[in-house]
Amino acid sequence: QEYTGVKMAVVQWSEAAKTEIESSVGGRKVYLVAATLRPETMYGQTNCFVSPSIKYGVFAVNEREAFLCTSRAARNMAFQGTFATRGQVHQLTEIDGAKLIGMKINAPFAVNPEVYVLPMDTILPNKGTGVVTSVPSDSPDDYATLMDLRKKAEFYKIDPSWAAIDPIPVISTPTYGEMTAPVLVKKLKINSPKDAKPLAEAKEIAYKEGFYNGTMLVGEFKGEPVQEAKIKVRESMLAQGLAVAYAEPEGLVISRSA
Ligand code: ZZB
């Protein structure tokens, strides 16, 4: 599985993260790295998700940069030429996902370039980087989670303003229009991010519809088919240093739908 690791630079730490992380990184610029299979949707990022129950690490890339992700992802990256010394992981510090909630980060290519970090309980610790960038227009999981957070802001201990950005139209499909994920969530009567089965089905449909029949509505490749734009957006992000290639070892890919 070849992911794009999107580099989301820290704009403003949460109070908790500031005291725990800032003093440990030696002045390095810190990025949350979100693993995505849909780089062409990055225009529509509205927030970023971490799991409140996962421990994350901060890992030195070189003297200037550090990545925040799971240690499992960092070990994989070490064998993919991401860090200064091949095979070597240099952990600077670690932090509970819960303490990252409410941070502000930069979302590359997004129509809203500054977004907040919010909690997502369904993040799998053994897949991707443990950091997920949220595109509620095209990801049913993201849409269901965002709506739940808005409904129960107090329960989730978030400031409602952190979840205030509405889904952005990014891709048009003949069957679902400009809001593929919200339409599917409604159609399949999904009420909560815990509706795992219909969410897996919605995800499958959204992937296929977007990939085979989608047309870009925004960005440099506006008007082009998703199938072509997908590769171009990825290449553009990599070339500008806004993302890194990230692959999961064969046979270890975990999918919620599997
Ligand atoms: C942005 C995005 C936009 C995504 C979209 C999907 C969609 P898969 O297919 O099961 O391998 N993801 C990444 N890591 C995790 C994790 N640890 N736990 C839970 N979800 C994770 O899933 C890959 C996608 O699941 C990734 O691509 C990421 O969300 C999320 F419009 O990034 B994606 C129809 C899906 N649309």
Residue nearest to atom 33 of ligand 1 (CA): 36
Ligand 1 pocket: which of 37, 56, 179, 197 to mutate (most atoms <8 Å of CB)? Answer: 37
Residues with beta carbon inside 6 Å of ligand 1? 35-38, 41, 123-124, 127-128, 130, 132-133, 135, 138-139, 203, 206-207, 255-256
CA distances from 220 to 154, 194, 257 (A): 39, 35, 32
CA distance between the termini of the chain: 14
Tokens of 104: 């502000």
Question: What is the helix, strand, coil percentage profile of the chain, to 5?
Answer: 35, 25, 40
Q: Measured in angstroms, how far is the CA atom of residue 53 from the centroid of ligand 1?
A: 18
Q: For residues 32 and 48, give the distance between their C-alpha atoms in angstroms, rounded to a whole number.
A: 9
Count of CB atoms within 10 A of residue 235's CB?
13
Q: Strands, DSSP E only, in the chain?
A: 2-12, 29-36, 47-50, 55-60, 65-69, 91-96, 104-106, 114-119, 131-134, 171-172, 215-216, 243-247
Pocket test for ligand 1, best of 2, 36, 109, 131 (most atoms within 8 A of CB): 36
Which atom, in ligand 1's list, is nearest to the CA of 141?
35
Q: Rounded to the nearest 10 degrees, how much is the dihedral formed by the CA atoms of 99, 102, 104, 109?
A: 100
**63 CA to centre of ligand 1 in angstroms:** 30
Q: How far is the CA of 164 from the centre of ligand 1 (A)?
A: 21
Q: What is the pLDDT along the chain (258 residues), one digit of tens a residue?
A: 799 999 999 999 999 999 999 999 999 999 999 999 999 999 999 999 999 999 999 999 999 999 999 999 999 999 999 999 999 999 999 999 999 999 999 999 999 999 999 999 999 999 999 999 999 999 999 999 999 999 999 999 999 999 999 999 999 999 999 999 999 999 999 999 999 999 999 999 999 999 999 999 999 999 999 999 999 999 999 999 999 999 998 765 556 554
Nearest CA to ligand 1 atom 28: 36
Whether 187 and 143 have beta carbons less than 8 Å apart is answered as: no
Q: What is the CATH number of domain 2-247?
A: 3.90.740.10
ipTM score of the complex?
Answer: 0.99
